[in-house]
Homo-oligomer: A and B are copies of this chain.
Amino acid sequence: MESIQVALAENAYEISIAPGNLDRLGAKCRDLKLGNKVMVVSNPTVFALYGQRTISALQQADFEVSYCELPDGERYKTLDSIAHIYDLALEHGLERSSTLVALGGGVIGDMTGFAAATWLRGIAVVQVPTTLLAMVDSSIGGKTGVNHPHGKNLIGAFHQPRLVLTDPDVLVTLPAREFRAGMAEAIKYAIIGDPELFDLLERADGLQQNQIDPELLATILTRSARAKAEVVSKDEHELTGLRATLNYGHTIGHAIENVTEYTINHGEAVALGMSAAGQIAVKLQLWTQQEAQRQDRVIHKADLAIELPPAIDLEQIVKTLKSDKKVKAGKGVFILPSKIGSTRTIAYEVLNPTEDLVSDALIKQVLTAMLPIASS
């Protein structure tokens, strides 16, 4: 059993990682002296698998448990879903001492966290991530929110959970594609700050869901959570730029998600974004081609693509990158590797100083090289 502390001045909390942890949820919440009423928020898919165990664990610790079901999928990550949580919070009499438990992936975690941040000006939330992506990333750090019809995650709040409870056993039911997506973030942690983790990933016999050694998986969960916890504890509200290092692979990744209308999921896009960022770093002579290729081999080993879909519109990707508000304000940055385990933050201006075309050309050159051979 691993216990990682997110060290924050006011809102410190534990990330607990252990097989079978789900059954310890009630006891853990009791230890935290959480109030008596708990509402579990989940979606039908996850609830069918783990809902009853979650509720039983809470009831066995004498909590009064209610349930709020939200539809499954990113397109329901809206204020309307939050309003539904509020309605049930009222119906079940949730008070300032009550707790919401987010049982699910990133979408459920973000929405439950936001509802907790804003119900009665803030109640407790416990994150119980059920996807690899949520376990290594989104459940930790207190970013909560929903999408605006015209932009992702524009509406939200920082609201730290009281506990993150991870049970790796639940990953057996995760679709393989979602497993891969989570692995992309784990690879990210390795590249930006954990060369030992990178070695483990590189030496592993396999990184896919049906191949991975459970011990390596446990190590990935622990080291990723620790890396995230460390950054969050130094930059809780994303003020110093330190937390921006977590965006490695995300700048181009977000643009790819956007341009493909999210048919490429977040993790897949981050994998492509890391591969592209790696090549940009190589072109700028920040990173060796050899290490960039080692990165790409690990990405490939996780069954993640390092090739763009043939029909993708590169102009549109560059346009999306340039429409970013930070970029427009001259504050855009790329996180680029300088070696495995270290990054540098390179201002977009550096890539894009006075001659706009040069930088677009660089990005496009790198992306073009990532197209399948027939279509490049």
Chain A contacts to B: CB under 8 angstroms = 79, 83, 86-87, 90, 93, 95, 114, 117-122, 143-145, 148, 150-151, 154-158, 237-238, 325-326, 329
Chain B: minimal CB distance from A301 (Å): 35
Contact B158 A122 (CB under 8 A): yes
Given contacts A325-B95, A329-B95, contact A145 B121 (CB under 8 A): yes
Contact A157 B95 (CB under 8 A): no
Contact A86 B121 (CB under 8 A): no
Contact A86 B154 (CB under 8 A): yes
Q: Which of B122, B150, B154, B157 contacts A122 (CB 8 A)?
A: B157
Chain B residues whose C-beta falls within 8 Å of the C-beta of A329 in the assembled complex:
95
Chain B residues whose C-beta falls within 8 Å of the C-beta of A151 in the assembled complex:
90
Chain B: minimal CB distance from A144 (Å): 8
The residue in chain B whose Cβ has the minimal distance to the Cβ of A325 is B95
Chain B residues whose C-beta falls within 8 Å of the C-beta of A145 in the assembled complex:
118, 121
A120, B155: Cα distance in complex, Å: 6
Contact A154 B95 (CB under 8 A): no
Chain B: minimal CB distance from A110 (Å): 11
Given contacts A90-B148, A148-B86, contact A155 B118 (CB under 8 A): yes
A310, B254: Cα distance in complex, Å: 63
A117, B114: Cα distance in complex, Å: 11
Copies in the complex: 2
- A to B CB contacts below 8 Å, 20 in the list: A79-B79, A86-B148, A90-B150, A90-B154, A95-B325, A114-B118, A118-B145, A118-B155, A118-B156, A118-B157, A119-B154, A119-B155, A120-B154, A120-B156, A121-B143, A121-B145, A121-B156, A121-B158, A122-B158, A122-B237
The residue in chain B whose Cβ has the minimal distance to the Cβ of A145 is B121
The residue in chain B whose Cβ has the minimal distance to the Cβ of A239 is B96
A121-B144, A121-B237 known; 6 new pairs, CB 8 Å cut-off, are A90-B148, A90-B150, A90-B151, A90-B154, A120-B154, A122-B237
Most chain B CB within a 10 A radius of its CB, from A114, A120, A121, A122 = A121
Chain B: minimal CB distance from A149 (Å): 8
Give the 7 A-B CB pairs with smallest separation, nearest first: A121-B156, A95-B325, A121-B158, A118-B157, A118-B155, A121-B157, A90-B150
The residue in chain B whose Cβ has the minimal distance to the Cβ of A144 is B121
A60, B302: Cα distance in complex, Å: 57
The residue in chain B whose Cβ has the minimal distance to the Cβ of A97 is B329
A339, B373: Cα distance in complex, Å: 86
A238, B95: Cα distance in complex, Å: 14
Chain B residues whose C-beta falls within 8 Å of the C-beta of A114 in the assembled complex:
118
A123, B93: Cα distance in complex, Å: 31
